[in-house]
Structure 1
Amino acid sequence: MATKETLTKLKRNVENYLGQKVILKTNKGRKRVFVKEGVLEEVYPSIFVVRIDRGLISERKVSYSYSDILTETVEITLCCNDLKIQAS
């Protein structure tokens, strides 16, 4: 079970990459995995927000909780140096 300390440490790790380009790999179950590229835009106490640019006109924001990283539902990788953000 994830402790409050683990989630706080994970939040600090995510905060360090605020404003940087990331690759999101989301596991939607039944072998459905989606990979999206976006910018880590906002960090809140319980969630973080990534802005996904889908072309010239369309833009989308998605939010995930830090527990999604712990349960490996979401994997965040920095675009430039393949550094993964995960629970340690």
Structure 2
Amino acid sequence: MDSVTKIRKDLEGCIGKTVILRANKGRKRIVVREGILESAYPNLFVVKIANEYDSIRRVSYTYSDVLTSTVEVTICEEEQEENVKIS
């Protein structure tokens, strides 16, 4: 099993959980967002983000973004108060 397939399987098992995304937008700009992992498709995954203005936004990233460390995904485990980082 290759790395992209492993990342996809890990994320598919976490659908519905809260995640923290840390995305590198280039030129030393890092964006950190918290949302809910909504769905995982064969080539990308979607995270639903609610902001302070009560609008819901969906962002999508590819599994290769995680593989190349452009995006770091941290799964928040509520019951254990422990975070699991997928990379």
Tell me if both proteins adopt one fold, taking TM over 0.5 as the criterion.
Answer: yes
Q: Which 4+ runs in 1 deviate beyond 4 A?
A: none
SS across alignment from 2:83: coil
CA distance in 1 between counterparts of 2:32 and 2:8 reads: 22
Other-structure match for 2:85: 84
Residue 46 of structure 2: aligned partner: 49
1:12 aligns to 2:26 (yes or no):
no
Give the root-mean-square deviation of aligned CA atoms: 1.3
More strand by share: 2
Q: Are 2:21 and 1:24 equivalent residues in the alignment?
A: yes
Q: Percent identity?
A: 49
**C-alpha distance in 2 between matches for 1:48 and 1:84:** 16
- The alignment of Structure 1 onto Structure 2 pairs a total of residues equal to 83
User: How many Å separate the matches in 2 of 1:53 and 1:79?
Assistant: 16
CA distance in 1 between partners of 2:63 and 2:30 (Å): 18
Of 32, 37, 44, which aligns to 1:35? Answer: 32
Given the two structures, how large is their TM-score scaled by the length of structure 2? 0.89
Q: Does the Cα contact within 8 Å between 2:44 and 2:62 map onto a contact in 1?
A: yes
Partner Cα separation in structure 1 for residue 10 and residue 76 of structure 2: 16
SS in 2 for 1:79: strand
3-state DSSP of counterpart to 2:66 = helix
Query: For residues 56 and 19 of structure 1, what CA distance do their matches in structure 2 show?
Result: 22
